[in-house]
Structure 1
Amino acid sequence: MNKEKVTRFYADLDSSAALAAQYFAPDASFRFCNLSPIVGRENIASFLQGFFDTISGTVHSVENHDVTEGGSTLVELRVTFVRKDDTTLEGPGAVIFEENEDGIRDYRVYGDYSTL
């Protein structure tokens, strides 16, 4: 995925779980840190909405982006989470994902957000 599309994806993710879910293939796999993978676009949308319901918002800033020869997209992020009490947690994160003609098919998030 080129950098422009990656940047658009994270802007959409910051604004709406439903918008972000549209980037995923119908049978996609989504793994958030140490949680079990969520499979299927509808389940991913539900997971994202449930997660976003626990906070006030997120801001993802792409710090680095690369596409491997095998086609995997690697993204280094700075993520700011806004809690319900308006305090923030900011930290680094990394994402690796693969796409096919239907969209993102495998998406893996790496970071420590345990204090969120």
Structure 2
Amino acid sequence: MNHELTGMFESVDRMSVEGFLSYLTDDVVFRFGNSPEVVGKEGVRAAIESFFTQIASLEHILQGVWSEANTTIMRFDTYYTQHDGTIINVPCCVVVHFNASRLINDYRIHIDISPLFSSASAGNVIQASA
């Protein structure tokens, strides 16, 4: 994974909204799972801040990366820690497109986060709360 993306995911895993936003263009198009597209940094800020209130922490473990021209595809295992301490593993794929200044102007997260909010997520639970 290139330097820009390594730093970006370190910011995400620290739940640093400002750090994450610094990698995006002002008019970025962002889509998380099956949620509607959000256009612009301020819309992304609101969406990410809202999502971060629903979890205690997260960690991305890179499983693969592919790049072609200005597009990079990454496959992750993402570990979400809920507020009660339960850790849920959810696989995801992220597709980003860079502009000429190497800022991301299109960001797509392909993920099903329903196990994070479902009592039927036993197959995804890594560590249950005590």
TM norm. shorter chain > 0.5: yes
Q: Which residue of 1 aligns with 2:79?
A: 80
Contiguous gaps of at least 5 residues in structure 2: 117-130
Q: Which residue of 2 aligns with 1:94?
A: 93
Q: Which residue of 2 aligns with 1:105?
A: 105
Q: Percent identity?
A: 25
Q: Scaled by the length of structure 1, what TM-score is found?
A: 0.91
Determine if the alignment matches structure 1 residue 114 to structure 2 residue 114. yes
Q: Which residue of 2 aligns with 1:25?
A: 25
Any idea what the Cα deviations from partners look like across 1:88-107, whole Å, max 9, x if unmatched? Answer: 11021101110112611000
CA RMSD of aligned residues (A): 1.3
Q: Work out whether residues 74 and 93 of structure 2, in 8 Å CA contact, stay in contact via their aligned partners in 1.
A: yes
| Local SS of the residue matching 1:86 | coil
Structure 1 range deviating more: 96-105 or 71-80: 96-105
Q: Scaled by the length of structure 2, what TM-score is found?
A: 0.82
Question: Which runs of structure 1 show a deviation greater than 2 angstroms over 4 or more consecutive aligned residues?
Answer: 2-5
Letter in 2 for 1:76: R
Contiguous gaps of at least 5 residues in structure 1: none
Higher relative contact order (CA 8 A, sep 6+): 1
Work out the CA distance in 2 between the residues paired with 1:96 and 1:67: 10
Aligned length: 114
5 Å-filtered alignment, 1:43-54, equals 43-54=43-54
